[in-house]
Each structure stands twice: as C-alpha cells, then as structure tokens.
C-alpha cells in the first residue's frame, strides 16, 4: 500500500468513527441530562485562568516556548471538553507533578495529563506530550487513526514538537475520545 492510499484509508476511518462517537455521546448526554449538571469549564478556572496555584506554578516553571505550547494544548483540552456532549466539568489538578484533566463529574473519560518531555543528553529539541492511561486502548486507537499525523511515545502518549504548529484537528479528536473513553461501549473505535 502506498502512502497516498494509506492516508486516504486513515481519513476514511476518521470520517466513520468520529461522527459515530459524537452521536453516541449526544445520546448519552440526553439520557443523563436530568441528573447531571450542565457541562462547563474547569472548576473555578474558566477558559484562561488557572485556579489551582500548584498547577499555575508548574506552568510558570516551563521554558518560554514550551510553556506557550502547553498552555495552547490546555486551552484545546478545555474547549474540546466544553464542546463534547456528556463530559461535564473538568477538574484541573496535578498528578505525578503534571497538569491533569479529570472528568470527575461525569466519570466519562480517562485522565489526560500534559507535560514537557525532558530532552535526552545532546538533544536540543523542545518536546511536550499529552499522556493518557497506559492500560487503555486510547493510544492504539490514536495510532491507527493518525499514524501519519502524530508521533507516539509507547502506549501512553502523543509526542509534540514545540517548533511545529499544534495539529489541532487530530488532537481535538484524540482528546474527545479520551474524555469519553468510559462512556463509549466499543473501546476499539476501528
């Protein structure tokens, strides 16, 4: 299979999977809407401000370009959560010293963590990552959908280069899948 047909196949899988997951999430939201509060921003954090001083301190300690990229990734997580039915309010906290986003209210998804990737000796590149629980099928699913677009770190992360633009469309889809992981009956989206 050549690169063009592989890319077309991956695009076709995304076209089939994402709308199906969104319809499923919408149906679940409708059935739970009477007992759940309306989806909202991160607890006390709105879109821009970081309510937890410990989380704010971690962001403040990152180097300039990496900090800007991680804040943009944080904003994408918040926007995706607000736009994804059934996710509810996120909790922003630290887990293993990393900014983490939990679906505490709805329990709909797997925890998402973000952090700088420590460079290897002699490596001057700045990288950062979006981490998910390694015992889920999430990274396997992401890899099948976006193998030509994203880079992965084993079975637990999406690796991103601070010198490159944020691949928003692919990441938004991956974030939505992570935030609804426990709500989707079929864990293998392919």
* Per-domain boundaries in the chain: 3-179
For residue 149, what are its two tokens?
């677009």
For residue 29, what are its two tokens?
């939201």
Taking the alpha carbons of 88, 113, 151, 143 in that order, is the dihedral positive or negative?
A: negative
Quote the pTM value.
Answer: 0.74
User: Which whole number is the average pLDDT over 101-120?
Assistant: 93
Question: What confidence score (pLDDT) does residue 44 get?
Answer: 37
Which has the higher per-residue pLDDT, 92 or 7? 92
With cut-offs at 50, 70 and 90, classify the pLDDT of residue 13. Answer: low
User: Which whole number is the average pLDDT over 81-101?
Assistant: 95
């Amino acid at each position: 299979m050549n690169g063009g047909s592989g890319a077309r196949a991956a695009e076709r899988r995304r076209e089939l999977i994402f709308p199906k997951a969104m319809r499923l999430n919408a149906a679940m939201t409708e059935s739970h809407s009477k007992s759940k509060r309306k989806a909202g921003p991160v607890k006390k954090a709105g879109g821009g401000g970081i309510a937890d001083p410990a989380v704010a301190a971690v962001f403040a300690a990152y180097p300039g370009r990496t900090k800007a990229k991680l804040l943009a990734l944080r904003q994408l997580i918040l926007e995706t959560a607000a736009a994804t039915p059934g996710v509810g309010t996120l909790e922003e906290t630290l887990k293993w010293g990393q900014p983490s986003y939990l679906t505490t209210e709805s329990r709909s998804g797997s925890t998402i963590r973000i952090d700088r990737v420590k460079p290897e000796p002699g490596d001057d590149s700045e990288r950062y990552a979006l981490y998910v629980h390694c015992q889920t099928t999430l990274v396997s699913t992401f890899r099948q959908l976006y193998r030509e677009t994203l880079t992965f770190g084993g079975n637990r992360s999406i690796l991103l280069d601070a010198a490159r633009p944020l691949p928003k469309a692919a990441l938004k889809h991956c974030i939505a899948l992570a935030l609804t992981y426990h709500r989707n009956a079929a864990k293998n989206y392919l």
